């Protein structure tokens, strides 16, 4: 006996077996029980959510020998023939392969004839949006005023492509994507019925990868059973799907919370040995960050598989709400642009490094992370003397340095002529003060890896050359109070981009295009042209 795949074997045969579309089933059930039946129904939704299945059950309900019912018996000849796909009065058409107007006319030639076996002649047109404009025109008149014995059941994944004249003649039902929890519950029941041993973590991965489609989940379940040798185990399924264990995601976020760039790179190298799907890696990072944000606001730590959420809560408490929002945005954009990277791994690495680079500096106060303003905001002078943050009023024997102020630092750095890592070091420093021939700087803690004795010496020489005299450099590591040159450049870029967007939005030529062609300006596509 040939094997019947799970997606076909477990296709619902009545409304009671259908899951996740209660809003559609309720409307159809009420219509059938009151016999207030429309002549045309349109089922819209993504793949694998039950459009064709519900249409076939509706065909059964209309033609069951026990009468029009919301609960077809499944045992009469009409129900059995519909299930087996050989009911003469159920005409199924794949519009993707029959798009020509001649195909549509041929289909409608027999509309006027009464059904041969059933109560209604049912036309089920799948992917109806694939019909040509001429085909829709040929269908319109019949769709508007069909004979009493005809019902049209239309299914589509893209209702926006249907002419409004067709939409206005149908009762439209929008089927929802199924939640991962609902998909996992359903495939778990199927595994039990099939006597297949399945680990909860493996089913959780399948449910998420199915992306709202129960049919895709059943196809993946079939593949997993074959791949695992009759069982569904987490580790082999993880390898089959190219997914990343949730522990890796939490480790990545933990390292990001610690500003540990080298740790992140080492972990990516470890993950790379598992042949991962890096797009899914960034998706999982974004999903976890979203849950963290919800937890921080509501106190609810949502876990699909019901696992203990203590580690999740502990991790969420390590990352500030501001950083979570930043990391989420960078992860989403990084996933979107991954195909532009030289290779997926380098694209994922740059996305994670961007999270660390763009993360605003913070002060640790009583164990909590507090954002620090990036604007210049010098503290008032202390009555007890210098706090180490004010410009020193002491005269300097080095010409030019005695009049140097904190506000001059950002303009000075590009004039030093430093490049590469040396420039990265000085660009991540803020100016504290100078005393005699020593310049005191504060290095952003997240850029501490740039600081070496050799680079400090090179910076001192560059300052000495600029001020025409010997200068020493004292660099401490910690939280930044004033803007560093890197932060100033980022702020300037954002301001220029905002100005460019505002300029485009107010440009009369752009507004004319919008009015003439119903065009829409995409703000995310606006870029500034750099003269650098």
All structural domains of the chain with their residue ranges: 6-174, 180-241, 246-359, 401-483, 487-525
Contacts of residue 290, Cβ cutoff 8 Å, sequence gap at least 6: 328
Instruction: Calculate the average pLDDT of the chain.
Output: 83
What digits encode the pLDDT tens for the residues 202-244?
Answer: 998 899 888 889 999 999 999 999 998 888 998 888 888 877 7
Its CATH class, for the domain covering 401-483, is alpha beta
- Give the residue-averaged pLDDT of 34-53: 92
pLDDT at position 308 over 80? no
Residue 362 has pLDDT above 70, yes or no: no
Decide: 166 and 140 in contact? Cβ < 8 Å.
yes
pLDDT computed for residue 369 by the predictor:
41
The pLDDT score that the predictor gives to residue 386 is: 39
CA-based nearest residue to 377, from 430, 438, 437, 323: 430
Residue 142 has pLDDT above 60, yes or no: yes
As a whole number, mean pLDDT of residues 245-252 equals 85
Q: Give residues with Cβ within 8 angstroms of 350, minimum separation 6.
A: 334, 341
What's the whole-model pTM score? 0.59
Tell me what pLDDT residue 113 has: 87
The H-assigned helical ranges of 177-260 are: 180-193, 200-209, 214-227, 234-241, 246-257
> Which residues are within 8 A (CB) of 200 and not within 5 positions of it... i.e. 6 or more apart?
184, 188, 305
Q: What is the pLDDT of residue 399?
A: 52
Length of the chain: 532
pLDDT at 439 over 80: yes
Residue with tokens 């976890």: 288
CA 190 – CA 196 distance, rounded (Å): 8
Structure confidence at residue 371 (pLDDT): 40
Compute φ and ψ for 152, nearest 5 degrees. Answer: -105, 125
Task: Count the Cβ atoms, other than its own, within 10 Å of residue 504.
Answer: 14
Residue 123 has a pLDDT of 92
The secondary structure of 237-287, three-state, reads: HHHHHCCCCHHHHHHHHHHHHCCCHHHHHHHHHHHHCCCCCHHHHHHHHHH
CATH topology (fold) of 246-359: Zinc Finger, Delta Prime; domain 3 (1.20.272)
**Residue 302: per-residue pLDDT:** 62
CA atoms within 13 A on the CB side of 281: 27
3-state secondary structure of 504: helix
Give pLDDT, residue 396: 42
How confident is residue 345, by pLDDT bands cut at 50, 70 and 90? very high
454 half-sphere exposure, CB direction, 13 A CA radius: 4
* pLDDT reading at 153 higher than 90: yes
Q: Rounded to an integer, what distance in angstroms lies between the CA atom of residue 246 and that of residue 221?
A: 20
- Percent of the chain exceeding pLDDT 70 equals 88
Strand partners, 430: 442
Q: How far apart are CA 150 and CA 142, in angstroms?
A: 10
What is the pLDDT, as a whole number, of residue 488? Answer: 87
In whole angstroms, how far apart are CA 269 and each of 333, 422, 449?
22, 27, 20
The domain 180-241 is classified under which CATH number: 2.60.40.1120, 1.10.3720.10, 1.10.8.60, 3.40.50.2300? Answer: 1.10.8.60
442 Cβ contact list (under 8 Å, min separation 6): 429, 430, 432, 475, 476, 477, 478, 480, 481
Is the pLDDT confidence value at 127 over 70? yes
- Segment among 20-29, 137-146, 185-194, 501-510 with least mean pLDDT: 501-510
| Confidence category of residue 391, pLDDT binned at 50, 70, 90 | very low
Task: For residue 190, name the pLDDT band (cuts at 50, 70, 90).
Answer: very high
User: What element of type H or E holds 434?
Assistant: strand 429-435
Q: Is 463 helix (H, G, I), strand (E, B) or coil?
A: helix
- Output b/e per residue, 203-226; b: 16+ Cβ within 10 A: bbbbbbbbebbbbbbbbbbeebbe
Q: Which segment of 3-17, 118-132, 180-194, 294-308 scores lowest on mean pLDDT?
A: 294-308
Query: What 3-state class would DSSP assign to 222?
Result: helix
In eight-state DSSP terms, residue 397 is S
Determine the average pLDDT of the residues in 194-201: 90
Q: What is the pLDDT of residue 452?
A: 87
Number of H helices, E strands in the chain: 22, 10
pLDDT band at 85 (very low <50, low <70, confident <90, very high): confident
Residue-level pLDDT at 271:
87
Report the C-alpha gap between 225 and 246 in whole angstroms.
22
User: b vs e for 148-170, b when ≥16 Cβ sit within 10 Å of the residue's Cβ?
Assistant: ebbbbbbbbbebeebeeebeebb
Rounded to an integer, what distance in angstroms lies between the CA atom of residue 306 and that of residue 328? 24
User: Which H/E stretch holds residue 156?
Assistant: strand 150-156
Question: Can you read off the two tokens belonging to residue 138?
Answer: 């040929």
Mean pLDDT within 460-483: 88
- Measured CA to CA, the distance from residue 324 to residue 327 in angstroms comes to 5
Question: pLDDT class for 360, splitting at 50, 70, 90?
Answer: low
What three-state secondary structure class fits 471? coil
pLDDT confidence of residue 132: 86
Above pLDDT 90, what percent of the chain? 37
Highest average pLDDT, of 131-140, 362-371, 504-513, comes from 131-140
Q: How far is CA 190 from CA 17, 187, 198, 230, 297, in A?
A: 12, 5, 10, 14, 37
Extract the tokens encoding 348: 């994922």
Q: Which CATH class is domain 6-174?
A: alpha beta
Residue with tokens 């401490």: 476
Tokens of 518: 């119903």
Helix (H, G, I), strand (E, B) or coil at 350: helix
The pLDDT score that the predictor gives to residue 358 is 84
CB neighbours (10 Å) of residue 357? Answer: 15
């Amino acid at each position: 006996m040939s094997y019947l795949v799970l997606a076909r074997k477990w296709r619902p045969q009545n409304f009671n077996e259908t899951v996740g579309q209660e809003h559609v089933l309720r409307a159809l059930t009420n219509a059938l029980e009151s016999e207030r039946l429309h002549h045309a129904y349109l089922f819209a939704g993504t793949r694998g959510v039950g459009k064709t299945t519900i249409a076939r059950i509706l065909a059964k309900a209309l033609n069951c020998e026990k009468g029009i019912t919301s609960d077809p018996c499944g045992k009469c000849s009409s129900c059995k023939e519909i299930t087996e796909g050989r009911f003469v009065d159920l005409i199924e058409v794949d519009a993707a392969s029959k798009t020509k107007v001649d195909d549509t006319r041929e289909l409608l030639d027999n509309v006027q004839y009464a059904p041969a076996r059933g109560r209604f002649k049912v036309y089920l047109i799948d992917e109806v949006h694939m019909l040509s404009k001429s085909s829709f025109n040929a269908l319109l008149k019949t769709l508007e005023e069909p004979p009493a014995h005809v019902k049209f059941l239309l299914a589509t994944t893209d209702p926006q492509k249907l002419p409004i004249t067709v939409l206005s003649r149908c009762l439209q039902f929008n089927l929802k994507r199924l939640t991962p929890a609902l998909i996992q519950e359903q495939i778990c029941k199927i595994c039990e019925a099939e006597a297949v041993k399945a680990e909860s973590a493996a089913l959780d991965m399948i449910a998420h990868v199915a992306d709202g489609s129960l049919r895709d989940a059943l196809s993946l379940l079939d593949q997993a059973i074959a791949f695992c040798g009759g069982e569904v185990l987490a580790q082999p399924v993880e390898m089959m799907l190219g997914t990343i264990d949730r522990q890796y995601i939490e480790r990545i976020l933990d390292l990001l919370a610690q500003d540990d760039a080298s740790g992140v790179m080492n972990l990516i190298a470890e993950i790379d040995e598992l042949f991962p799907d890096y797009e899914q890696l960034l998706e999982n990072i974004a999903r976890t960050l979203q849950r963290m944000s919800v937890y921080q606001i509501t106190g609810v730590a949502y876990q699909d598989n019901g696992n203990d959420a203590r580690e999740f809560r502990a991790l969420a408490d390590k990352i500030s709400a501001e950083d979570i929002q930043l990391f989420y945005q960078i992860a989403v954009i990084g996933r979107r642009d991954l195909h532009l990277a030289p290779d997926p791994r380098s694209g994922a690495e740059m996305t994670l490094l961007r999270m660390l680079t763009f993360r605003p500096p913070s002060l640790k106060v009583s164990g909590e992370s507090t954002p620090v303003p990036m604007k210049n905001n010098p503290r008032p002078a202390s009555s007890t003397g210098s706090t180490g943050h004010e410009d020193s009023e002491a005269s300097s024997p080095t010409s030019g340095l005695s009049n140097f102020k904190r506000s001059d630092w950002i303009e000075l750095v590009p004039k030093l002529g430093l490049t590469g890592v040396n420039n990265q070091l000085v660009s991540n420093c803020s100016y504290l003060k100078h005393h005699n021939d020593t310049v005191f700087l504060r290095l952003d803690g997240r850029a501490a890896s740039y600081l070496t004795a050799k680079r400090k010496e090179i910076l001192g020489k560059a300052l000495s050359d600029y001020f025409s005299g010997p200068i020493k450099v004292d660099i401490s590591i910690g939280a930044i109070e004033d803007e560093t040159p890197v932060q100033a450049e980022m702020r300037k870029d954002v301001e220029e981009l905002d100005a460019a967007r505002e300029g485009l939005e107010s440009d009369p030529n752009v507004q004319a295009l919008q009015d003439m062609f119903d065009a829409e300006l995409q703000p995310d596509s606006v870029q500034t042209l750099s003269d650098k």
